[in-house]
Structures are given as C-alpha cells and as structure tokens.
Amino acid sequence: MSWFETLERAFESTPQRIFEALLERSVEVSDGVRNLESATAAWRADNPEQHAAASSVLHFAQEQAPFTPAAAPAPVTDLQERATPTPVDSVFAQSEQQALREARDSVDAVFADIARNNPDIVNSFSDGFDLSN
Amino acid sequence: MIQKLIKDIVKSRDEQRQAELLRKLMRREAQIGGEIFGPLQPGGRREFFCLDKHTWVWHEEWNGKDGERQVRTTRYDVRPDQIVKSQNGTYTKVGKQEALRLYEAAKLYNQRVQSELYSNVRAQ
C-alpha cells in the first residue's frame, strides 16, 4: 500500500469521527439538562403549576423574560431580524471538505520535506505505516 | 522514527479536526439556543448554549439608549444542590424563579438541538 493510499484510508475515518463528535455533544447536552433537573428538583416539586405553564416557547420568552440581563431592552415583535439558520448538513459538508483539503495540504507538505531531505526513506516507510490510532 | 513522526502529525491533525468539529457544533447550538427566547431588538445578538454538562452560557448584545454597544455574558454553574451565576466576575446564587426558567430554557434547547443536530445519534 502506498502512502497515498494509506492517507486516503486515514481520511476515510472522518465519518466515524463526525459520528463520535455528534454523539459526544448529544450526550453532554442531555447530561446538562439532567443536572439542571436534579438541581431544581426540590423547587419544581414545590411549584408544579409553574413548571407546566412554561411549555410555550414564545410565551415563556416574551412574557416571562427568563434571566435576561436587567439592562437588556424589551423584546420587539419584528421577526424579520432573526437570521435564517444554515442547513446543518450543508455546513458540515463544507467544513469537512475544507478540513480534508487542509489536512491533505499539511501532510503533502510534510512528505515533500521528507522527500527532499531523505529521498531513500520515502520509499521505505510506506509499508507498515499504521494510522489506525 | 519517521513513521512515528508522521503518525504523531496525523494524530494531532485528527485531534485538531475533532476539536474544531465540536466547536462548530457548539456554535450551531448557540445559534439555536439564541432563538428559543423569541425575537431580538434590531442590532441585538443572543446566544445560549450548554458549554458542558455542568455549565450553561447566556450571551446577550444590544445597543443601549445612548447607542453604545452593550455586551453581557452570564455563566450558570450547575451544582448538585444549587446553581451559581457568574456575571462580570461576580458570583451569585440563583434563586428559584430564575432557576426554573433556566431549566425550562435548557429543556427547549435540548429538544431543538437533539432534533436539528443529533437526531441520528440521539442519546437516550
């Protein structure tokens, strides 16, 4: 296997890394909510009706102004100011392509340096070059 | 030695990419979190996100009455029996009403990000 092929194999692990990152954040956010749930358990038990009343997003946001800094202005009703979210899949695809290009450039530069300074070595380490870790 | 060098470079690069990916996810979460409280005043900016499983961050920017840009970042540290709020280096214990609102916000945030970002790997 040439080192080009080896690097290709390494880059093919990217989807797995993406999955791991998604899972890590998903678990972290869920744990974050659970910790809040535990920290507020006693208060919620004291006042279950308040817990139920906060189910509406906008009602919750606009009428109750949750922990908004005191000096912040009152919310306005112009929804046009809200930015349209970029589709996440598209963002991920673009960022991954960019990362892939940067990684290729970086590794190519390293190999170019090695090839200049140690032309005989380049041919010798392509075998057994383990990128699995 | 060269094999190890290359391996270390590739591994380091991989870790950097992983860290950057996590940051991208958090930036997207922060945008989503900023939307759950409704509209902003023109020129305003709001982000709300889970920094880690013990920390929630609220970031708000707005134009003050005199036109001066105002910025405030509020950090909530969630402990087993209380929540501590940090603003401008000042720590205060969060009261009942604020804590319950924070909890409701976090639940909404969780629903949105799990649905919009993590539906394929949803944690149970």
Mean pLDDT of chain B: 84
Q: Which of A22, A39, A73 sits opposite B82 (nearest CB)?
A: A39
Q: Which amino acid is at B86?
A: S
Q: Are B73 and B59 in contact (CB under 8 A)?
A: yes
Q: What's the pLDDT at A89? A: 40
CA–centroid distance for B116 within its chain: 16
pTM of the predicted structure, to 2 decimals: 0.62
Q: Report the distance separating Cα A43 and Cα A37, nearest Å.
A: 10
Q: Report the distance separating Cα A104 and Cα A133, nearest Å.
A: 18
B67 touching chain A per CB within 8 A: no
CA dihedral B70, B73, B74, B75 (to 10 degrees): -170
B39/A75 touch (CB, cutoff 8 Å), yes or no: yes
How far is CA B12 from each of CA A18, A38, A103, rounded to the nearest angstrom? 16, 37, 11
Task: Tell me the per-residue pLDDT of B42-97, one tens digit each, with 9 for 90 and over.
Answer: 888 888 899 999 999 888 888 888 888 888 888 899 998 889 988 877 888 888 88
How far is CA B79 from each of CA A56, A80, B55, B82, rounded to the nearest angstrom? 27, 38, 9, 5
Q: Report the distance separating Cα A24 and Cα A51, nearest Å.
A: 29
- Chain A residues near residue B87 by CB distance under 8 angstroms: 69
Q: Which residue on chain A is closest to B99 by alpha carbon?
A: A40
Q: Is this complex scored with an ipTM above 0.85?
A: yes
Neighbours of B61 (CB within 10 A): 16
Task: Name the helix (H) or strand (E) containing B116.
Answer: helix B96-116
Which backbone phi and psi does B75 adopt, to 5 degrees? -115, 130
Task: Tell me the per-residue pLDDT of A65-90, one tens digit each, with 9 for 90 and over.
Answer: 444 433 343 333 333 333 333 333 44
